[in-house]
Amino acid sequence: MLLGLLFVTFILLAGMVFRNLAHFDTVRSYVDYSHRILLVTLDLQEMLSEYLDIKSSSLDSWKVKRVSEELERLARSNYYAQTDTPKLLLKTRDLILDTSDKQHTLQERESILLEALQLTGYMLDAETQERDKQLKEITHDIINEIALAGAIVILVLILIIAFVQRRILFPLQDLRVLLSNLAREDFTPIETGDIDPLLLPIFSSYNEMVLHLAELEESKRHYAESLEGEVRSATRAMLEQQASLAQAEKMAVMGEMAARIAHELRNPLAGIQMCCINIRNETRDPDIQARLEMVVAELKRMGRLLSELLERGKHEPIRATVCDLAQLIEEMAALTRYQISPLIRLEVTLEKKLMARVPESQFKQTLLNLILNAAYAIGPGEGTITLQAARLDQQVSLIVSDTGTGFSPEFLEKEIRPFFTGKPGGTGLGLAMVKRFAYDMGGTLTLENRLPHGARVILTLPALVSGQVSESSSVRASR
């Protein structure tokens, strides 16, 4: 825009200059024309003077011819100022040529020359007046054009100053403000639509720099957030490790105490077992004998559990054998019928030959814990406990369901851990032992609620596949 305005101004000034030059050329032509008329007038005066001095009968023919030819050229020229000048010039020429006529007397020739001289003087005065009038007009036009040119120049200067101030100085001031905003971490790009093309690369570079700084700031913020998250994670992990260490220390104390109690209980249990065997041998009632047989079997199992508890305290591996889980479940179901309320139905649905390699006593203890927990959830009223076991692919799935109140949302949200229980007066060790057993056997333990009420515990254990012929193996139990 600025370049276009300067170009138009230059064209206008150049037009004015050329117009004034044309005026001056016209004036010069008028002056030259008047000068030629003046020369003709001087020639006529010279001819008249010579004629009067010599008193000859005729004029010099060469001068007459030269003056008449000059008058004719002046008449054909277009540089006259007075419109009557060409006619008067031709009339003067005719008068000069008429002096060559020999029939004229001396006085007649003198009067003709005087008349021609008067005509040239008249023409010269008329041309001079007209030329002065045109010079005044030209001078007035030149003054007006100079004033107009000055006004145009002043207007152009004002526009240039306004343009420079608006398109250059103000943006530069804005750039100074924007650069100060960078110190305040304001990375907002600016609009470049109204920026002068001369400054456009600067502001484009500023926008690129701002975008790059914004990306760096965003990267820094994400990095800081990630560091903060890592710090929080590390802190949480450290707190969890501290809690785990405290829990491990507590479990170590409990394990030591349990080992002492187990050591003290083995002798009384051995005496009770011998008494039950003696009573079984002395009685003749088959029903009582069967019950005593189950009591003796459980006492033996309790003895093995106490022995295993002592072995765990010594960090010795627990012996696992190939067992038919269906048979073990039936045995525990028959035993627990006498330990739960008569109002609770115990339903068992099993597949046959569910072979797996597990420690027999620990599996029975695990199943006992699950059944007793289900019975506690049902309470003193009527209810149903369902035992289901089946083989799924390479696993054996044992499901213990009840129609009790179900698990609380808080209990399901939290991880199963020792001493955390939802039962009043409970120790929180039952499900913790079941979870530890599942972990040691390479299985899983899942807790969930049933609709409309009740709970379900799903214990999965690796099944025995074909080719596994070893009769026993050792399982390392973690404290």
Cβ neighbours around 46 below 10 Å, total: 13
User: Do 215 and 298 fall within a single domain?
Assistant: yes
Do 226 and 348 sit in the same domain of this protein? no
Side chain identity at 389, as an amino acid letter? Answer: A
Q: From 292, 317, 342, give the residue that closes a domain.
A: 317
In a domain, 65, yes or no: yes
Q: How many domains does the chain have?
A: 3
354 and 448, same domain (yes or no):
yes
Residues 348 and 460 in one domain: yes
DSSP class of 166: I
Residue 337's nearest CA partner among 399, 285, 303, 294 is: 294
Is residue 369 within 8 Å of 431, Cβ to Cβ? yes
147-183 per-residue burial string, b: 16 or more CB within 10 A, e: under 16: eeeeeeeeebeeeeeebeeebeeebeeebeebeeeee
Rounded to whole angstroms, the Cα distance separating 346 from 459 reads 18
User: Residue 176: inside a domain, yes or no?
Assistant: no
Q: Are 187 and 217 in contact (CB under 8 A)?
A: yes
3-state SS, residue 447: strand
Query: Distances from the Cα of 243 to the Cαs of 238, 239, 256, 371, in angstroms?
Result: 8, 6, 20, 31
- Strand segments (E) across 359-408: 383-392, 395-402
Q: What is the pTM of this model?
A: 0.40
What torsion do the CA atoms of 98, 103, 108, 113 make, to the nearest 10 degrees?
Answer: 30
Does some domain include residue 184?
no
Candidates 400, 380, 402; CA nearest to 445 is 400
135 and 215 together in one domain:
no
Give, for all 479 residues of the chain, the pLDDT tens digit. 656 766 777 787 777 777 777 777 777 777 787 777 778 777 777 776 766 665 555 566 777 778 778 778 877 877 777 778 888 878 877 777 777 666 667 777 778 778 877 887 887 788 788 777 877 887 887 888 788 888 888 888 888 887 777 766 766 676 677 777 777 767 677 777 666 666 667 777 777 787 887 788 788 888 888 888 888 887 777 667 656 655 655 665 566 666 667 656 765 776 787 788 878 888 888 888 888 888 878 777 777 777 766 665 554 556 788 999 999 999 888 888 877 888 999 999 999 888 999 988 889 888 888 998 899 889 888 999 999 999 988 899 999 999 998 888 888 877 666 555 555 544 556 788 888 888 888 999 999 998 888 999 999 999 886 545 444 444 433 32
Residue 229: inside a domain: yes
Whether 312 and 347 map to the same domain: the answer is no
